[in-house]
Structure 1
Amino acid sequence: MPLEPIRPRPGLLAPDVSLEDVTTIIDDSAVLHRLRLYVPAGKVTVLMGPSGVGKTTLIKHVVGLLEPDGGTVRIGGQDIWDSSPEEWQLIRKGLGAMLGGHNLYSTSVFSSMTVLENLTYSLQALGVPEDERHERAMARLRELRLDDLSDQLPERLPAHASKRLALARALVADAPLTVLDEIDVGLDREHTAEMLTAVRDLRDRTGCTLLVTTHTLELARSIADNLAILVNGRIVAAGPPTEVLDGVESTEDFDRRFEFSDFTGPPRLEDAEADADRQRPPAGRSYQLPVDPQMVWIALAAVVLIAVLFITVKLLSGGWPSPF
């Protein structure tokens, strides 16, 4: 019998997400400028755009990893960069994420834990009873054909399995808001079909809000309730995929429609800097999100282990070198 979805924690119903006049400057380049995006509650919103256009940067703003230089990011009406530690922890408990970027999927899993432990750890952090964790974790692993690899460490997995593990970890929490970046990168057609099924099942099972980035027209048409196109640092089109992609049958069609026909071009650095200066928070307002205590302990344990190994090697090799 299929498991019931994890019951939402108090106050954690499927939220909407809004980015308003978001401006982001990285390495003296205006990546996003006056960007506005609305992600409706309980819907699947797909974000598309050329490589390097800022999709992962936008995702990092939503999950609290990167503060924009200007503008606001709200989840369920709450400005996450103006949240108290308690408010942010409540938001974070209702958020599942798979991150992309230069080092795909590895940032979304713990390398020191087995495939199964990566999922059960997430469930433990959510307070799922111990007798349910294994069953829920294995259900997601079977869904993505990873159950026969449950005792393996992530570093021993092929690339496509690592990606599916990152996805399974993001889905296992049945989070009210799930954010999936570069969802189909590194997957062949067969594994992409499994991934699509898993994402649809999550949506049907929980009624959650989903924000997904992809390069693939077919995927966008398959799962999107709403589609947004990011080009030159801003959203240039948004709406139902049947309308936004009407007449777009190929990548070349996509480029002609959205990229090459956008005559505004990339935002100018001086304009973005001026906007960021105008939007800076007043003195005394803090945007610092709290650090996850569990991650602090993991980092400290790693430092201690490295120090112990270093001292042991020095002692076994004949002691410390003389300074004279």
Structure 2
Amino acid sequence: MSATVETARAVGLRPRRARRNVMSVGVWRTRFELMQYFRSGDTLFFTFLFPVFMLGLFSVAFGSDGDVQIAPGVPAISMAELYLPGMIAAGLLLSGFQNLAMDIAIERSDGMLKRLGGTPLSPVSYFIGKIGQVLVTGVLQSALLLVFASTVLGVELPTEPARWATFAWVFVLGITTSALLGVALSSVPRTAKSATAVVVPIALALQFISGVYLTFSQLPEWLQNVAGLFPLKWMAQGMRAVFLPDAYATLEQNGEWNLAGVAIALGVWLVVGLVLSRITFRWIRRDA
């Protein structure tokens, strides 16, 4: 009887030990991915420092005349305050979507994924490492943007706890969705050379139509509708609800921040990204 009990306990412990092993390897992979990320100068600039650079550039280029009023009935604000929400949203897209899509595509083309597939490394541990790296760099990037906007550009950050709570869930949903969609898109480029040509135009087009570089309320209605089909528009809208005065809600499509719509849209895209990444990811391309 005691032998049977001990056997049952041992069998029950194996899945838990396996899960702990997968998680511990995933944490180790996160550390490895972070080291690789911060050693890559071009990646560091174009995905980590680029939003900070663009925020400073737009603030200096368009803010020489002081505060601006972009529409009747809303208070005048600085260009730095106007661009900050979009740049934070763009940072989430660059860190998750663009960075992972290009990184994984290059690793597959170079044969690194094939070599990893021949090791005991679990795909779950591999993706814990990738998404862990994205979460850490996304937090650091957003913190750097906020510090830069506050101390260098003079932006007054919100003090209400409710706004920071909104920032937290929009950030988590946004960067997780971006990361999963980046994993899914990584299966499209056939070579390392084509990864940039495939990924960057998509990310750039989404930024222009989603209220990052151009004021969203001034875009044609049909283009706003097109942007609403993609997650970046909702990420930027959620961030505008955090950092812009309440009166600016009237400039949104429905005249409100519609945070419930933001949560639903990002939640749907998160599920889509999860399904697509699960279906499309392979250590080796099927047509290789």
Query: Quick check: TM above 0.5?
Result: no
TM-score, length-normalised on structure 1?
0.23
Q: TM-score, normalised by structure 2?
A: 0.25
* Higher fraction of helix: 2
The structure with more strand, counted as a fraction of residues = 1
